[in-house]
A = this chain, B = another copy of it.
Amino acid sequence: MNKIVKKEDIQFAVLAVDVICFRIIGKELYVLLGEVNAAPFYKNKLGLIGGLIAPEETADEAVARHMKNKVGVKKIKDVYREQVYTFSEVGRDPRGRVVSVAYLAITNKDVRNINKAAVKTNWHKVTDIPNLAYDHNEIFLTGLERLRAKVEYTNIVQYFLPAEFTLTQLQERYEIIVGRKVDKRNFRRKVLKLKMIKKIGKRLRGKATRPAELYKFVSKEIKIYEIFF
């Protein structure tokens, strides 16, 4: 009844992670892309940051490792990471069976290419993404969708901001991500009533304008808040 199972019959796939890493620069949302070198299949193509999972690490650990090695992230704790979806289409990598666990990542630092990063990476506006290698356009969209959804009902937007920020900065980030303007007074009233953030009692001086109150997030953990608008 039992067939003899050979190792190579069941260990046929390579495991990888792909990271959809977002950041806001100025007034726009950017995603981190890198050069893909997979000749002869992909030449001069861009793709998400990613890499293999090693035999003795979890997918989460693989994400942290590749963000350090390939992108040059120094403190991985500065980068928010969450698993999004696992892509297992048989032909998604032309070189062989690769199953990829996609992660959403967020940073407010320029993590590109510092610390002799091993791969050329750059920030690209999410409104202007070229054809990417593999199924990375699909993975990117899955990540963007998750980001937009979670900004509306959690405090995840905090990872786009420094620890201390003004209400205007917070609102700007929110608007950039969801892609729509909201009323200043209503926005402020809501985030304060939800106790998502609180005043720290310092103000941001230096501009030729009234100094803005600085705030911080009440919880560093991702929590449900029902922000909407």
Taking Cβ atoms with an 8 Å cutoff, the residues of A that contact B are 7-15, 52-53, 55-60, 83, 85-86, 88-90, 97, 99, 101
Known: A10-B52, A52-B10, A85-B83. A57 touches B15 (CB 8 A): no
* CB-CB nearest 8 A-B residue pairs: A59-B88, A12-B55, A86-B86, A11-B11, A58-B88, A10-B14, A86-B101, A13-B15
Is there contact, CB below 8 Å, between A53 and B88? yes
Measured CA separation A90–B57 after assembly (Å) = 6
In the assembled complex, 5 residue pairs joining A and B whose CB atoms fall closer than 8 Å, in A order, are A10-B52, A13-B55, A53-B88, A58-B90, A83-B85
Q: Write the chain B residue with the least CB distance to A17.
A: B88
Is there contact, CB below 8 Å, between A86 and B89? no
Is there contact, CB below 8 Å, between B9 and A55? yes
Copies of this chain, complex-wide, total 2
* Chain B residue contacts of A90, Cβ below 8 A: 56-58
CB proximity of A55 to chain B, nearest CB, Å: 4
Given A10-B14, A53-B88, A86-B86: 19 more A-B contacts, CB < 8 Å? A8-B8, A8-B11, A9-B55, A11-B12, A11-B13, A12-B55, A13-B15, A13-B53, A13-B55, A15-B15, A53-B99, A55-B97, A57-B90, A58-B89, A58-B90, A59-B86, A59-B88, A83-B85, A88-B101
* Chain B residue contacts of A83, Cβ below 8 A: 85-86
* Chain B residue contacts of A10, Cβ below 8 A: 14, 52
* Chain B residue contacts of A13, Cβ below 8 A: 11, 13, 15, 53, 55
Is there contact, CB below 8 Å, between A15 and B58? no
* Chain B residue contacts of A14, Cβ below 8 A: 10-11
Measured CA separation A140–B90 after assembly (Å) = 27
Q: Write the chain B residue with the least CB distance to A90.
A: B56
Q: Write the chain B residue with the least CB distance to A228.
A: B226
CB proximity of A17 to chain B, nearest CB, Å: 9
Measured CA separation A122–B43 after assembly (Å) = 52
CB proximity of A176 to chain B, nearest CB, Å: 22
